[in-house]
A = this chain, B = another copy of it.
Amino acid sequence: MSKKTNAAILIIGNEILSGRTKDLNTSTLSLWLNSIGVIVKEARTIPDIEEKIVDAVNSLRKIYDYVFTSGGIGPTHDDITAQSIAKAFSIEYEIHKEGYKILEKYYKPGEFNEGRQKMIWMPKNAKLILNPTSGAPGFSVKNVFCLPGVPSILKSMLGGLKNDIVGGDPILSHTISLRTVESEIAKSLTEVQNNNKDVEIGSYPFFQAGKLGVSIVIRSEDQKKINICETQILEFVKEKKIDLVNKN
């Protein structure tokens, strides 16, 4: 695959590491990034500990073109992403004037209390990411984009972010689901992969309605290359008399 713009996702939150909450944001961010031609190369989940956030941000922002963080930008004591990002970049942590104005307008008079004001303490000169759902903006510093942890709010903020991300052609994918087990097709599938080295071919077993199956996922930014792989896969599928399955 040609050199594409890449990104890492950093999920910040004890609730994911305790198992209490299942992470939905990696999937949301990945699908969106793929659609604008950015490949996600790594995702990390770390606890609400300043040192861990600083270390992870400083490590990831140097390796990848973009870093997207999720979580820790709310008003409570365990929301320490903004101060940690300021520390990671060694810049001041202060009230963001533009952010202040946004929230001052958003809340009724008298409701813009101390807790809410915490949400517009940010790294100096951070660029705001507008929040159409609940007012409090996210922000970016250089190639690091900080979004909230609540999945529906995060999702609503991606539209406003698109112009800040330079991606490439969308990464296309095609899935072929088969009534078989992986070991029956492993050898033939390896041959197809070897014949098409610049296409990513994944094989994923599934159980559905009590039956075993395998989904083969072909990914590339080039639809023609996907079609060539598909033809080669369907050839051995026919030869082996394997049934195709309709699967969502």
User: Chain B residues near A74 (CB, 8 Å)?
Assistant: 182, 203, 205
Contacting residues, chain B, for A203 (C-beta < 8 A): 74, 76-78
Which residues in B have their C-beta under 8 angstroms from that of A217? 15, 18, 20
Do residues A76 and B45 form an inter-chain contact, with CB atoms below 8 A?
no
Shortest distance from the beta carbon of A197 to any chain B beta carbon, whole Å:
11
Tell me if A75 is interfacial: C-beta within 8 Å of chain B: yes
B-facing mask of A142-163, CB < 8 A → 1, else 0? 0000000110100000000000
Shortest CB–CB separation between residue A233 and chain B, in angstroms? 12
List of B residues within 8 angstroms of A115 by Cβ: 182-187
A49 to chain B, nearest CB (A): 9
How many Å lie between the Cα of A74 and that of B184 in the bound state? 12
Q: Does A22 contact B (CB under 8 A)?
A: yes
Which of A36-44, A221-229, A235-243 touches B? A36-44
Contact among B19, B30, B78, B202 for A27, CB-based, below 8 A: B19
Which residue of A13, A29, A30 has the most chain B CB atoms within 10 A of its CB atom?
A30
A217–B149 Cα distance when bound, in Å, is 16
Does any Cβ of B come within 8 Å of A86's Cβ?
Answer: no
Chosen A-B contacts, 20 in total, with CB atoms closer than 8 Å, are A11-B43, A16-B26, A17-B30, A18-B31, A18-B34, A18-B173, A19-B29, A19-B34, A21-B27, A22-B24, A22-B27, A41-B47, A42-B46, A75-B183, A76-B186, A76-B190, A77-B193, A77-B201, A78-B203, A114-B187
Interface residues of A (CB under 8 A from B): 11, 13-24, 26-34, 39-48, 52, 74-78, 113-116, 118-119, 149-150, 152, 171, 173, 182-187, 189-190, 193, 200-205, 207, 217, 219
